[in-house]
């Protein structure tokens, strides 16, 4: 759980051992007195020795191995646009010499419950006070309509080398924030978070007049671009065809003008998590329409488009980098019919060779070895592959991988290596190519380690890359292992074409300009420039002779070309009847999201909630049992209309955000009806991702509590300052079958019926 959210939740309860008292407040600031009301110490015995522990406040347990010191949180409401400043003075304090070291923040055993107290030995020898200051400012944040800051107060500071505990028993905290920057529309309506505000903010009454409506709603619907939609799935890169005959079988009407066809895709990327990008949309994609000249889509007519895979190399920050979509393997395109504006057609570039342009006969090439077999951290999107294990009393262990390269332009290249240390000891990794050592590096402990190694001695055809796990001095008595994440080989190839399909990458070109590209091999049927894969261009007037071909084009770093002799068929084409979720603007109080197959089982719960829902009554400033609008939504519809066909968890947040912004009233509850797992692609076959969690982290530490499943993201409607705090009451009911929904509904009705 996010530390800020935890502090918000805990602040609804008394902060034991300390209290805040407002001394004065004005329009531009507030003066607060913090008093430490009690100092309670006790002893904890552990295998690492006895430790002194402190009770009270909240435990700063996010830095394992460092002293576990209680802290307190002051929440201050802020005017719009205000930035808080803090001035703190200690009124009463003392120093206490402890008899034993202060308890370190714990890590957890594999069961996730057992606390293990292991002090950071280097830190516990340090000669400075921890934490270095008496306070930290977190924010500004926004909770629903209320802007605020959370100020952590540290009444205890500890110097490990001398066991000296500095205690500030009274502190005066002056928070100034000025008048802010008025301009946003004030919010005066009911707010279900009213009791949270009144319990949380020391200047609650002031804060009420500073609430704002937030961002102006937007209402554009990308699916308004056409009247009929076909959902097209592809797996690999290639030039794909959509035939009229295929669409006619699915129900396409006759006499459709070719000018009314449009093609869209999100581009095979993940949705951005920033709340500012919640209204992101599909992008129009260029296509080639082959018809018989009558202006209508019929007969043997077809649409051609370049299909972008979800595993590919893309040019980012000056180099080609491998990208694999963490949530899906199949990309989705949308073909729209009966569009008033029409689609984008592929450009045609004149590739007639230039007599004055220099020629290029080589390009960059890339090969990847990656097997996603296990998730070492049991969370997040980082999956590891093969295990290289060295047994006890064995000094080294080799594991080899074969790469088949294209015709080489150079025997040199580079190899990117990513691996995870599987035990807590030091080891050496030696890299060999075709039996010749290339480089070595050291990897210490359980860590994610990435490096790039220069290699030489590549040969045409098969090349063997060996990773040798070698024991560090003094560790041969211990078993050791590493998990391979990936190997990524970059080399230079000759421009050749063998009749299948090939990509040609140009990572760097000096100087930029017009060049002829000269290939060996027969001219392909299709040659495309796909630097922008959503706007590819056909290369025309390619000259061929004597088993080679040549064309001319401008060239700069990051350019990509694609050659193919034929076209591919999509994995599937389906006529889609969209629910039109962007029309849900009549005010939903209770949003339930589940898989389509469970919507029927949820109907009884939704009917009950429609008549038995606690909603905030602004007149009484309290929640009252009343009727409300409870509605269920299929996760598949959300992924289609807000993920644009891909099962990206951010689509859930974007859907809820749309309802929140555009409804006649803001939703109060969000229910995720279904289990979820970090195994987004069902690699382990558990089938448990009914409503996926949000956890887009690369994590190897099972103890990292701040980087696990994070459902509150779906209910964070402002994202201001990165607080990630929910603005809607959210919960998950982790069912896996319909009978569990019935059991839950029975219990809810029985309990609520008294």
Token pair of 394, please? 């064995």
> 256 and 368 share a domain?
no
Provide φ and ψ at 656, rounded to 5°: -65, -40
> 281 and 162 share a domain?
no
Tell me what pLDDT residue 26 has.
Answer: 87
> 25 and 172 share a domain?
yes
C-alpha count within 13 angstroms, C-beta hemisphere, residue 12: 9
Q: How far apart are CA 187 and CA 265, in angstroms?
A: 37
> 51 and 180 share a domain?
yes
> 588 and 718 share a domain?
yes
179 burial via Cβ count (<10 Å: 0-12, 13-18, 19+): exposed
Tell me what pLDDT residue 108 has.
Answer: 67
CATH number for the domain that contains residue 600: 3.40.50.10390
> 334 and 387 share a domain?
no
Tell me what pLDDT residue 510 has.
Answer: 82
> 259 and 203 share a domain?
no
> 23 and 167 share a domain?
yes
> 694 and 720 share a domain?
yes
According to DSSP, the residues that pair with 126 across neighbouring strands are none
Tell me what pLDDT residue 721 has.
Answer: 42
DSSP 409: E
Residue recorded with tokens 């599937």: 572
Count CB atoms within 10 A of the CB of residue 570. 24
Q: How far apart are CA 430 and CA 443, in angstroms?
A: 11
How many domains does the chain contain in total? 4
Quick check: 522 and 499 in contact, CB under 8 A?
A: yes
Token pair of 163, please? 């066991």
> 45 and 188 share a domain?
yes
SS3 assignment, position 558: coil
> 625 and 651 share a domain?
yes
pLDDT, mean of each 10-residue run, the chain (754 residues): 41 66 90 89 85 75 77 91 91 91 77 74 88 88 86 92 92 87 68 83 89 70 94 98 96 92 96 91 96 93 98 94 97 95 94 94 97 90 95 97 96 98 96 98 95 97 98 96 98 96 92 92 97 97 94 95 97 94 90 96 96 82 87 97 97 96 92 96 89 89 71 86 74 96 96 88
> 199 and 238 share a domain?
no
Residue 657 lies in a domain: yes
Cis previous bond, 140, omega within 30: yes
Please give the residue range of the domain that contains residue 706: 580-752
Residue 477 lies in a domain: yes
Residue 280 lies in a domain: yes
Quick check: 748 and 605 in contact, CB under 8 A?
A: yes
Residue 514 lies in a domain: no
Last residue of one domain, picked from the residues 575, 599, 629? 575
DSSP 132: S
CATH number for the domain that contains residue 122: 2.60.40.3800
Tell me what pLDDT residue 754 has.
Answer: 76
Last residue of one domain, picked from the residues 459, 494, 529? 494
Last residue of one domain, picked from the residues 184, 208, 232? 208
């Amino acid at each position: 759980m996010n530390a800020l959210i935890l502090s918000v939740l805990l602040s609804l309860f008394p902060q034991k051992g300390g209290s805040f008292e407002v001394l004065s407040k004005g329009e531009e600031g507030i003066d607060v007195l913090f008093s430490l009301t009690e100092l309670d110490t006790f002893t904890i015995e552990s295998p690492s020795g006895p430790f002194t522990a402190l009770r009270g406040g909240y435990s700063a347990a996010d830095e394992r191995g460092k002293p576990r010191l209680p802290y307190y949180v002051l929440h201050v409401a802020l005017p719009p646009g205000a930035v808080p400043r803090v001035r703190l003075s200690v009124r009463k304090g003392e120093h206490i010499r402890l008899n034993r070291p202060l308890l370190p923040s714990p890590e957890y055993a594999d069961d996730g419950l057992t606390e293990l107290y292991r002090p950071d030995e280097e830190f516990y020898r340090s000669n400075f006070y921890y934490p270095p200051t008496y306070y930290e400012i977190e924010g500004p944040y926004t909770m629903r309509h209320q802007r605020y800051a959370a100020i952590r107060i540290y009444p205890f500071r500890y110097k490990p080398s001398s066991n000296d505990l500095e205690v500030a028993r009274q502190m005066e905290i002056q928070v100034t924030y000025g008048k802010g920057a008025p301009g946003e529309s004030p919010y005066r309506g009911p707010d279900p978070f009213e009791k949270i505000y009144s319990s949380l903010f020391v200047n609650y009454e002031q804060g009420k007049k500073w609430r704002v409506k937030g961002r102006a709603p937007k209402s554009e619907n990308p699916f308004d671009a056409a009247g009929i939609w076909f959902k097209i799935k592809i797996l690999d890169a290639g030039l794909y065809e959509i035939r009229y005959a295929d669409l006619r079988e699915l129900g396409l009407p006759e006499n459709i003008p070719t000018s009314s066809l449009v093609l869209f895709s999100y581009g095979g990327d993940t949705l951005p998590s920033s709340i500012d990008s919640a209204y992101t949309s599909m992008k129009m994609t260029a296509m080639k329409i082959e018809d018989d000249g009558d202006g209508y889509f019929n007969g043997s007519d077809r649409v051609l488009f370049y299909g972008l895979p979800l595993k590919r190399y893309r040019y980012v920050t000056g180099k080609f980098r491998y990208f694999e979509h963490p949530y899906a393997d199949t990309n989705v395109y949308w073909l729209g019919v009966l569009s008033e504006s029409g689609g984008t057609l592929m450009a045609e570039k004149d590739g007639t060779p230039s007599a004055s342009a220099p020629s290029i006969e080589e390009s960059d090439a890339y090969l990847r070895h990656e097997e996603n077999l296990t998730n070492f951290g049991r969370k997040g999107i980082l999956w590891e592959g093969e295990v290289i294990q060295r047994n006890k009393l064995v000094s080294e262990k080799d594991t080899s991988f074969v790469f088949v390269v294209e015709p080489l332009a150079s025997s040199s290249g580079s190899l990117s290596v990513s691996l995870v240390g599987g035990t807590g000891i030091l080891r050496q990794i030696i890299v060999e190519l075709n039996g010749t050592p290339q480089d070595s590096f050291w990897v210490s402990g359980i860590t994610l380690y990435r490096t790039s190694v220069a290699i030489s001695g590549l040969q045409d055809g098969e090349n063997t890359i060996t990773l040798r796990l070698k024991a560090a001095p003094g560790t041969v008595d211990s078993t050791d292992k590493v998990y391979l994440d990936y190997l990524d080989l970059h080399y230079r190839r000759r421009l050749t074409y063998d009749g299948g399909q090939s990509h040609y990458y140009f990572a760097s070109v000096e100087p930029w300009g017009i060049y002829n590209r000269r290939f060996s091999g027969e001219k392909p049927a299709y040659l495309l420039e796909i630097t922008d894969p959503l706007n590819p261009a056909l290369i025309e007037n390619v000259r061929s002779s004597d088993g080679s071909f040549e064309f001319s084009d401008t060239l700069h770093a990051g350019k990509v070309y694609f050659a193919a002799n034929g076209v591919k068929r999509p994995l599937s084409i389906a006529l889609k009847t969209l629910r039109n979720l962007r029309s849900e603007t009549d005010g939903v109080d209770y949003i339930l999201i589940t898989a389509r197959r469970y919507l029927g089982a949820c109907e009884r719960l939704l009917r009950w909630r429609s008549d038995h829902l606690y909603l905030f009554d602004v007149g009484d400033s309290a929640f009252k049992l009343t009727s409300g609008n409870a509605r269920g939504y299929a996760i598949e519809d959300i992924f289609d209309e807000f993920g644009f066909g891909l099962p990206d968890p951010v689509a859930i947040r974007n859907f809820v955000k749309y309802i929140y912004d555009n409804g006649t009233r803001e939703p109060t509850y969000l229910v995720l009806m279904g289990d979820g797992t970090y195994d987004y692609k069902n690699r382990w076959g558990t089938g448990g991702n009914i409503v996926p969690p949000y956890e887009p982290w690369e994590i190897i530490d099972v103890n990292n509590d701040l980087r696990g499943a994070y459902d509150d993201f779906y209910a964070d409607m402002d994202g201001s300052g990165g607080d990630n705090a929910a603005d809607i009451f959210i919960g998950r009911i982790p069912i896996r079958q319909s009978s569990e929904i019935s059991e839950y509904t029975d219990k809810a009705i029985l309990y609520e019926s008294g």
